[in-house]
Each structure stands twice: as structure tokens, then as C-alpha cells.
Amino acid sequence: MIKFWLTGMVAFAILVGGGALPIVGTAYADDMPALRCGADEKIDGSTAADAKKKITAAGYTQVTGLKKGCDNFWHGRAIKDGVPTEVMLAPDGRVQSEGKGE
């Protein structure tokens, strides 16, 4: 009886704590499309591995933290010319640094 009660309480805590709730808005997830995107937003099949390969080919190194939004843009961190920077990969394949003045 106690085991059942504890299992039920854990399940309830997960549900209440958001573990089973959908992510709304522009949510990012590692190597998977954002969840609950708008009706006009079609998620492509690109993966973090694909994005890292394209970003590396554009001259960036140490690519980390890749996240994908509902708009199919990948965002992460990398090193370019020895300088740490935020980096973005557009669905059309453009790779560029993000941030102040760029």
C-alpha cells in the first residue's frame, strides 16, 4: 500500500512539476525540434550533428550548446578566430556569429 502511494505521489509530482507538460512558445531542445510550434511553422529534420558539421565547416571550432527553435534556426556557442562567440545556423545554411553589433 505504501509502495503504491509513493509511486502515485511521484507521478503526481512529475505532472505538477512540469515533467509531463508540453513546452509552449519558442522552446529549445537538444537535438530535437521545438515542441508545440505554431500551425504555420514546419519543423525540418535537421539534427544537432548536422548543424555542428555545417558550423564547423564555416570555420568555427568547439561548437557546443546547440538548440533549435520552431523557426528551424540552430543557436549555440563556438570559437571563431580564437574568440568565444554565439553562433547561428539558418535553415538556408548561412552560419554567422550572433551578438552585439552583428
Mean pLDDT of 72-80: 96
pLDDT (tens digit, 9 = 90+) per residue, 11-33? 444 444 544 433 333 444 444 44
Asked if residue 81 lies in contact with residue 96, where contact means CB atoms within 8 angstroms, the answer is no
Please tell me the distance from the alpha carbon of residue 21 to that of residue 74, in angstroms, as a whole number.
24
Asked if residue 67 lies in contact with residue 30, where contact means CB atoms within 8 angstroms, the answer is yes
Question: pTM for this structure?
Answer: 0.62
Q: Fill in the amino acid letter for 87.
A: V
* Top-confidence residue, 46 or 100: 46
Phi/psi region, residue 8 (left: phi>0; alpha: psi -120 to 50; beta: rest), is alpha
* Top-confidence residue, 17 or 10: 17
Q: What is the pLDDT at residue 22? A: 38
